[in-house]
Structure 1
């Protein structure tokens, strides 16, 4: 299965500890990721390397005119020192791994999010396009949420 990888780096106006706390709360992803409308079934878990993690179901809502499709995805989130790793299993044999690195930058935080997505050939363009647009929207929303007034 093809793998697509892309990354974005930006700075937000809050310290790393505040950004980290926000990104490690599964409920924060409602609205942070524009497709996520519900987070449920949050529970302790282990990641593929046996590290402490949190597992949850996020419901992504896709709309095409009057039609909508709710896509439940299983997320395993691992919080490390200054890093948040999320592994997503989605229907249709789609797998996505997101690694967010947080580095102090003055009074703010430099955020680098790297995404690797694997999807079957017929879905590749749609999946990669959505992942990129969601990443950009998440950048905008996290920057808004972490702006100090």
Structure 2
């Protein structure tokens, strides 16, 4: 099957955190919060806040993903991210463009529940055939880590 006809990589993660939606939203809407929230993100640069044509809050930034290869060898991958508050206070959509023709979209929905906030993240990604397995594995690993780290961070607030 040609690369452009392959279905996107798609999965979902859900966790419940011990903080109200407005606290979780404020944390996730800050690009710098992703340093350490994702195990790969080591820096966030060039953050620009604004509004899109529909008046929604937008944050454009560059995140640096650090991949450890062999021993001390590492690769710093600079990815461009556009985060849009599609439903202020309860939904964020992040579109990621990475070198190598890799794209990823993460839609995060926040729902108030009795013991805090349910955080549901739906991820879709596309990558060229040689990178698909690596991208799928990394994206799933990062999403699971992010859910656990967000749960930890919100428990200490």
Length-normalised TM-score, structure 1: 0.94
Report if the CA contact (8 A) 1:60-1:73 is conserved.
yes
Q: Kindly indicate whether residue 26 of structure 2 is the aligned counterpart of residue 21 of structure 1.
A: yes
Instruction: State the shift of 1:66 in Å.
Output: 1.9
Quote the residue 1:130 is aligned against.
138
Gaps of at least 5 residues in structure 2 are none
Quote the residue 2:127 is aligned against.
119
- SS of the residue aligned with 1:145? helix
Distance change in 2, residues 1:47/1:115 (3 Å): farther
Quote the residue 1:68 is aligned against.
74
Instruction: State the shift of 1:46 in Å.
Output: 5.3
Length-normalised TM-score, structure 2: 0.89
Instruction: Write out aligned runs for 1:1-40 (5 A).
Output: 1=4, 2=6, 3-40=8-45
Aligned mates of 1:48, 1:60 — CA distance in 2: 29
Aligned mates of 2:49, 2:33 — CA distance in 1: 17
Aligned mates of 1:110, 1:73 — CA distance in 2: 27
Q: CA deviation digits over 1:70-107, x for unaligned, max 9?
A: 00000000112300110000000000000000000113
Quote the residue 2:99 is aligned against.
91
Distance change in 2, residues 1:47/1:93 (3 Å): farther
Aligned-residue RMSD, C-alpha: 1.7
Q: How many residues align?
A: 149
**Runs of 4+ residues deviating >3 angstroms:** 45-52
